[in-house]
Amino acid sequence: LKGPFIDAKEIINKIEKNGHQAYYVGGCVRDLLLQRPIGDIDIATSAPPTKILEIFDHVIPVGMEHGTVIVRQKGVSYEVTTFRVEGNYSDHRHPDTVQFIDQIDKDLERRDFTINALAMNREGCIIDLFDGKADLYKKVIRTVGNGVERFYEDPLRIIRALRFSSQLGFQIETNTLTAMNQVKHQILTIAIERMTTEMSKLVQGKYVHHGFAYLQKTKIYDYLPILKKHPYIIDKISTKIKPLGSLSELFALFYMIETSISISTWVKSWKCSNKVRREASHLVDALKYYEKNGLNQWLVYQLPSEYHDGFVRLVNLVFENLSVSKTEVASYERTLPIRSKKELDIDGNDLVELFPHLNRGPWIQHKLQELEKEVVFGKLNNNRNLLKEWIKWNPPEIN
């Protein structure tokens, strides 16, 4: 065992010293066997949450009633969840009832897919009750138990199957796929935020074309907000989709395909944050500008640098015969004479002083932006006197 597993081992040891069982569980075991980068380490234990609170100093009780707490150690968070079985998901978010148990078997049985139902003890021995290891090697996603039942129990698992196919490049096992098709209408009952979280992981998957191929083939989009009314959006991109950085990029892509649906509409119906709205709008503005003018200093200047990579990805997806590279964008960025309006060697007050007979008004902003453009395009040096000179020759037109 190495890396994050060693750090987490202290937690397992401590729980065991207190007379309870504890295992690494779920995604981290799967990713270890696949030799993928390990995300979060999750721990499953026979100790009840109150016991965990008692034995560790830094515990955040995030979901005591579901048996989940976060243990903080050396700046890292570990989700520690008590072995449990679940009742119905009638609110489609959380099970109505959970019952803590003291054996891991039934806890593994409630998990969605065989590849996610693996546990490992502190020595590295793996508990594999549902042939998850074999499925990892075969590269298939298969439900633990009867697919139809498991998808009815929590229809989010249908989207999760697509998400894992997108992240891992796995096939969905035939019976599981049939069950997904049979139960997909139940997707309408799940909380949108849960769907969105999975979709956000789906679009970032290394094998996103797998995920989209399934999305299209199963017509699961018929049960997703907006897409149900505009299925051709998925048809149009599913063959050429490449891994994206975020849902913001997906919305920008959707918008470029169907301009009648605004970014706001996507963000609202998919219940995303204002951050997503802001990012997607920036990207759309840049793409529209690019369509008209191509890549230039002004585009790169206006688009915050954290969106540059997303912009490059999208140009290459949206515009058939055009392409832009990260290097091109970076070299424009490096040679920009200024980074923001604040760096302009002149401001609104200077303009007011230069034209004392004019009232303050929108002309100030207009002139400043003209100056900004001249400077960004390298037509004018960012020097106070030169800027003033330019203004004298290009005075504001007031009518």
Query: Which one of Mg ion, ligand ATP, none is in contact with 156 (Cβ closer than 5 to 8 A by kind)?
Result: ligand ATP
Query: Near ligand ATP by CB under 6 A, which window of 111-119, 202-210, 328-336, 339-347?
Result: 111-119
Query: Which one of Mg ion, ligand ATP, none is in contact with 118 (Cβ closer than 5 to 8 A by kind)?
Result: none
Question: In the complex, what is the shortest distance from the CB of residue 53 to ligand ATP, in angstroms, rounded to a whole number?
Answer: 21
Q: Write phi, then psi, for 80 (nearest 5 degrees).
A: -115, 120
Query: Which one of ligand ATP, Mg ion, none is in contact with 154 (Cβ closer than 5 to 8 A by kind)?
Result: ligand ATP
Size of the chain in residues: 399
Q: How many residues bind ligand ATP (CB under 6 A)?
A: 13
Q: What is the 3-state secondary structure (H, E, C) of 103-157?
A: CHHHHHHCCCEHHHCCEECCCCCEECCCCHHHHHHHCEECECCCHHHHHHHCCHH
260: Cβ contacts below 8 Å, ≥ 6 apart = none
User: What CA–CA distance (Å, rounded) separates 108 from 146?
Assistant: 14
**Parallel, antiparallel, or unpaired: how do β-strands 171-172 and 68-73 relate?**
unpaired
Query: Near ligand ATP by CB under 6 A, which window of 39-47, 210-218, 300-308, 331-339?
Result: 39-47
- The SS3 assignment for 81 reads strand
x-or-dash string of contact with Mg ion, 19-48, rule CB under 5 A: --------x------------x--------
84 annotated as ligand-binding: no
Nearer to Mg ion, 28 or 300 (CB): 28
Query: Near ligand ATP by CB under 6 A, which window of 37-45, 235-243, 274-282, 372-380?
Result: 37-45
Nearer to Mg ion, 27 or 310 (CB): 27
Helix 274-293 vs helix 308-318: crossing angle, to nearest 10: 60
* CB 110, CB 104: distance < 8 Å: no
Question: In the complex, what is the shortest distance from the CB of residue 30 to Mg ion, in angstroms, rounded to a whole number?
Answer: 10
Beta strands in 30-118 (DSSP E): 42-45, 59-63, 68-73, 76-82, 84-86, 98-100
Query: Which one of ligand ATP, Mg ion, none is in contact with 84 (Cβ closer than 5 to 8 A by kind)?
Result: none
User: What CA–CA distance (Å, rounded) separates 368 from 387?
Assistant: 10
Q: What is the DSSP letter of 89?
A: -
Task: Say whether residue 26 binds ligand ATP (CB under 6 A).
Answer: yes
Classify residue 357 as exposed, middle or buried by CB count within 10 Å of its CB (0-12, 13-18, 19+).
exposed
Nearer to ligand ATP, 7 or 86 (CB): 86
Nearer to ligand ATP, 37 or 75 (CB): 37
360 annotated as ligand-binding: no
Q: Restricting to residues 194-213, which ones interact with ligand ATP according to CB under 6 A? A: 201
Q: Restricting to residues 131-170, which ones interact with ligand ATP according to CB under 6 A? A: 154, 156-157
Q: How far out from the chain centre does Cα 333 lie?
A: 26
Nearer to Mg ion, 20 or 111 (CB): 111
Task: Say whether residue 372 binds ligand ATP (CB under 6 A).
Answer: no
192: Cβ contacts below 8 Å, ≥ 6 apart = 225, 269, 270, 271
Nearer to Mg ion, 26 or 310 (CB): 26
Query: Near ligand ATP by CB under 6 A, which window of 91-99, 109-117, 262-270, 353-361?
Result: 109-117
User: What CA–CA distance (Å, rounded) separates 124 from 117?
Assistant: 15
**Parallel, antiparallel, or unpaired: how do β-strands 42-45 and 76-82 relate?**
parallel
Query: Which one of Mg ion, ligand ATP, none is in contact with 173 (Cβ closer than 5 to 8 A by kind)?
Result: none
- Residue from the set 116, 200, 246, 281 that interacts with ligand ATP by CB under 6 A: 116
User: What CA–CA distance (Å, rounded) separates 45 from 311?
Assistant: 44
Which residues contribute to the annotated binding site?
27, 30, 40, 42, 111, 154, 157, 160, 163
Q: Which residues bind ligand ATP (CB under 6 A)?
A: 26-27, 39-40, 42, 111-112, 116-117, 154, 156-157, 201
Q: Which residues bind Mg ion (CB under 5 A)?
A: 27, 40
Which residues contribute to the annotated binding site for CTP?
27, 30, 111, 154, 157, 160, 163
